Structure 1
């Protein structure tokens, strides 16, 4: 029997197995589709959350309060030193500009500041930290270095907010990983169980094949292909569901996130790379379940 003949036989046998027990395979395909659809939604939501954290993290600025007695040249010297230490964008805010900004932020109440005998606000430096140094540990180390500079009386960078954002990101990543492991494990078990039922329904055919000298690989191959087809069909259903989800609810969600964080935050729910990854994952799930099934049931 040639290689092409064997391959054709295996694919016909696998397709016939799907037709022989449609309800059993429908359960397996539906399980894979639901798992991959949930994984695709989680992937899209994770992307949006990452953009959210990056956007919020980008708004965190380090403010340095300078001593009132510093002259213009000394302020320029501190500015230069801060740029060298942080490699970020530093803006000098004179006391007059700080007071004017405060008046605008207070609105009608800001007029009361005009009655002050002198400007109580010091000159400040506003530092926009590079993305690579926005982690809590890096910001804390940078703030320690900045506080040690001559002429700097205080440093504020919203430490509590940065740590809270970092904790949220870690919790989301850990939760997504645990959920993924549980869902994938459960899916493989269900696929293996349904395929075992299909194998059991064809036990007489398997016994005849073994009696006439069929090898272990020859007996296993059609069932492995059945699992592969199950995974492929489930992945196609999941990709179609994500595409439909993006068409129906994507514009609404995109408008919501654009309102909160600006345009470009919400990404398409089904990208080419995501679709290919889901197809590969579906095939892997189907093959994994079929390997478990033939290994436990056939014992060949």
Structure 2
């Protein structure tokens, strides 16, 4: 039998197997679709989380408090040095501007500051941290370098808030990874179990093939293709579900939470790269489940 004839027979046999046991394969396809849909939702949630971290990270500012006795020229010289050390954008806040800002933030209570005999606030430098230094370790090292500069009386960057936000993001990613591994294992087991039922239903055909001299690979190939087809159909259903979710609920979520999570909420949930990844994962799940089923049941 030629290669083309074998390939034609394998695909036709796999299609016949799907048609003869529709309910069994429906369970397998549904399981794969649920697993891939969950993975796609987790990817979308991770993107939203990254947008949240980026938006909050963009608000991370390091405030450098300078000594009160520094003159205007010394303050601007300090600004240049801080920009060189941090590679960020530095804004000088003179004492008068700092006092005005404080009065505005205090509201009605700010009128009490007008009774002060002199301005107690020093000049400050507000540093907008570049993206690569918005993690706790980099911010801590930067704050240490800034405190060591002459003329700096204090440095504040909201250390506790940054560390807490980073810890939450790390925990969410780890939890998503653990959940994905569990769902992946459960999916392979369910797909393997459903294919074992399909194999059992065709045990007579398999026995005849073995009696006439069919090789182990020849017997296994149609079932492996069945698993591959299951994976492709499951990926298609998952992508359709993600597309529907993005078009039905995506705009609503984008409008509700755009102020906090940024524009990533309303963005397309099905991207070309994600589609390719889900199709590949679906094929892998289908082939993995069918391989396990064939290996355990046929014993060939």
- What TM-score does the superposition give when structure 2 sets the normalisation length? 0.97
Cα drift, residue 275 of structure 1: 1.4
Distance in 2 (alpha carbons) for counterparts of 1:263 and 1:224:
42
Distance in 1 (alpha carbons) for counterparts of 2:239 and 2:263:
25
Alignment-derived partner of residue 274 in structure 2 = 274
**Once the two structures are superposed, what CA deviation does each residue of 1:102-122 show, in whole Å capped at 9, x if it has no partner?**
122222222222221111111
Ranges in structure 2 where 5+ consecutive residues have no aligned partner: none
1:128-167 matches, cutoff 5 A: 128-167=128-167
1:250-265 matches, cutoff 5 A: 250-264=250-264
1:181–1:155 Cα change, 3 Å = same
Alignment-derived partner of residue 296 in structure 1 = 296
Assess if the C-alpha contact under 8 Å between 1:44 and 1:267 holds in 2.
Answer: no
Cα drift, residue 232 of structure 1: 0.6
SS in 2 for 1:33: helix
1:165-180 matches, cutoff 5 A: 165-180=165-180
Assess if the C-alpha contact under 8 Å between 1:48 and 1:266 holds in 2.
Answer: no
SS in 1 for 2:154: strand
Distance in 2 (alpha carbons) for counterparts of 1:179 and 1:3:
42
Assess if the C-alpha contact under 8 Å between 2:55 and 2:262 holds in 1.
Answer: no
**Once the two structures are superposed, what CA deviation does each residue of 1:122-151 show, in whole Å capped at 9, x if it has no partner?**
100000111111110111111011011111
Alignment-derived partner of residue 82 in structure 2 = 82
Distance in 2 (alpha carbons) for counterparts of 1:116 and 1:264:
47
1:206–1:275 Cα change, 3 Å = same
SS in 2 for 1:214: coil
Cα drift, residue 264 of structure 1: 4.9
Alignment-derived partner of residue 108 in structure 1 = 108
Which deviates the most, 265-274 or 184-193? Answer: 265-274
Cα drift, residue 256 of structure 1: 2.0
Distance in 1 (alpha carbons) for counterparts of 2:266 and 2:104:
33
Alignment-derived partner of residue 210 in structure 1 = 210
Alignment-derived partner of residue 248 in structure 1 = 248
Alignment-derived partner of residue 232 in structure 1 = 232
Cα drift, residue 30 of structure 1: 0.6
How many residues end up aligned between the 2 structures? 300
- What TM-score does the superposition give when structure 1 sets the normalisation length? 0.97
Distance in 1 (alpha carbons) for counterparts of 2:265 and 2:141:
30
Distance in 2 (alpha carbons) for counterparts of 1:265 and 1:140:
31
SS in 1 for 2:249: helix
Assess if the C-alpha contact under 8 Å between 1:93 and 1:126 holds in 2.
Answer: yes
Which deviates the most, 263-272 or 220-229? Answer: 263-272
Distance in 1 (alpha carbons) for counterparts of 2:73 and 2:245:
60
SS in 2 for 1:273: helix
1:168–1:97 Cα change, 3 Å = same
**Once the two structures are superposed, what CA deviation does each residue of 1:72-104 show, in whole Å capped at 9, x if it has no partner?**
121122112111110110111000111111122
Distance in 2 (alpha carbons) for counterparts of 1:254 and 1:270:
16
Aligned CA-pair RMSD? 1.1
1:295–1:43 Cα change, 3 Å = same
Alignment-derived partner of residue 43 in structure 2 = 43
Alignment-derived partner of residue 219 in structure 1 = 219
Distance in 2 (alpha carbons) for counterparts of 1:211 and 1:62:
78
Distance in 1 (alpha carbons) for counterparts of 2:99 and 2:121:
7
